[in-house]
Chains A and B, each alone.
Chain A
Amino acid sequence: MEGVSLEKEAGGAIRKEFSLMNSEHGFSERQWLEFLDGTIEPAEQAQVLEHLAGCADCATLASELVVWRTRLLEEGQGLREAFSVPEEAFQSMLSSSIERIRSAEPAGVRSSFGWTAAEGIIVLRFLMEPICGPGTARATIELAVQRSAGEGSRVTGSNWRLFVGNLSDAAAWICGSAFGRLVYRAGLGLAIEEG
């Protein structure tokens, strides 16, 4: 026997939900699914197992659900393998995406109180040196500049965000994710002028 419960959603709409709240069996869809997935609380699991030992209907239902869970998992796995991406296609997509990101970088902030990119780099270097040392800070910044602006070019307001992302990425590798986040937030917090 199926019961109906009402659930009030945001905005006041009433949604009708059907639940298998059979007074004889007493297990909800949530409990069935968690039992099959192995995520059910131990106390509830014991109740379900005890019930299944004595209820043929529920034992049949459990058996059906186990079979279909297994089949769906296997077919899902098969689909994941069938749609793998060839390496060549993957590299092409990655290069194209990075190119789009670089070309879409927003212009720097135009402000009478703005910093130049060179000044911003000095500020970030002062931030990084006490934690990772002067040599490492300088080398990391140089690497981030090369990756963001290319050989022979410089960081400006237009590629500042990309530079900060690359620098924080490298900082995270060297001194941990918290340090990387700090560098990222500090870098984006600076108003860097265009040009």
Chain B
Amino acid sequence: MEVSLPVSEQEAIDRFLGAPGEESFRDLFRTIVPRLVRYFRTRGCDRELAEDLTQEVMVTVYHQSGRLRKKELFRPWLFKIVKNTLLQHVRRTGRKVATVALTPGVHEPGGVIVDPLAASRFNEWMAWLEPDERQIMTLRYVEELEYHEIADVLEMPTGTVQWKVFHSKRKLAARFGKNSA
């Protein structure tokens, strides 16, 4: 039985959590893998490493999905796995990983290259924020998580997340102005 129609991310999540077989896993894989690869790439991983870590995350998702009590919690749960996978990799290899890649085109020891694509204005702006603010702003504006989901991932109150988003924008406005290109 082949799935030919594209499914939305939420449909894929609901279907996988309801019946975690290979077909539903394939659909889930297709919808969320770009997020995972992007997360690792924007934190200084090269393409090969990002894809390896993504596979680790997806295998973990498959094996541990039974522990998820509510499907509404899938995204924060997923990003916790992603965050922990990256931390475990850093501990195994002893490499430093940026909260968001800040310096484009830099070759780090061990051959981890920050991709020039990371040299976007977004990263330029994030360089002016504190690490936790960068993390929150990236989860909000790149990964499109809701405030309460970010709060769950980072284990902080939702109000704190909102406060940091608000004041991060004010910092950016103060630094770059309203009319900068």
Contacts and interface: CB of A to CB of B under 8 A. Distances in A.
Q: Is A bound to B?
A: yes
Interface of A: 7, 9, 15, 17-20, 29-30, 32-33, 61, 63-65, 67-69, 71-73, 75-76, 78-80, 82-85, 89-90, 92-94, 96-98, 100-101, 104, 143-144, 147, 162, 165-173, 177, 180-181, 183-184
Contacts of A15: 157, 160
A121 to B, nearest CB: 15
A76 B144 contact: yes
A181 B166 contact: no
A168 B122 contact: no
B137 A72 contact: yes
A101 B51 contact: no
26 contacts: A19-B163, A29-B166, A33-B166, A64-B178, A67-B178, A72-B125, A75-B120, A79-B122, A80-B142, A82-B117, A85-B37, A94-B26, A98-B22, A100-B55, A100-B59, A101-B63, A104-B63, A144-B21, A162-B21, A166-B23, A168-B21, A169-B15, A170-B21, A177-B14, A180-B19, A184-B18
Contacts of B140: 72
A93 B33 CA distance: 9
Given A29-B167, A79-B122, A173 B34 contact: no
Contacts of A143: 1
B121 interface: yes
Interface residues of B, number: 52
B19 A83 contact: no
Contacts of A83: 34, 37-38, 41-42, 117
B38 A79 contact: yes
A171 B18 CA distance: 11
A150 B68 CA distance: 30
Contacts of A170: 1, 21, 23
A13 B4 CA distance: 52
A173 B5 CA distance: 13
A18 B163 contact: yes
Contacts of A171: 19
Given A93-B55, A181-B18, A78 B120 contact: yes
Interface in B36-74: 37-38, 41-42, 47, 51, 54-55, 58-59, 62-63
Contacts of B19: 165, 168-169, 171-172, 177, 180-181, 183-184
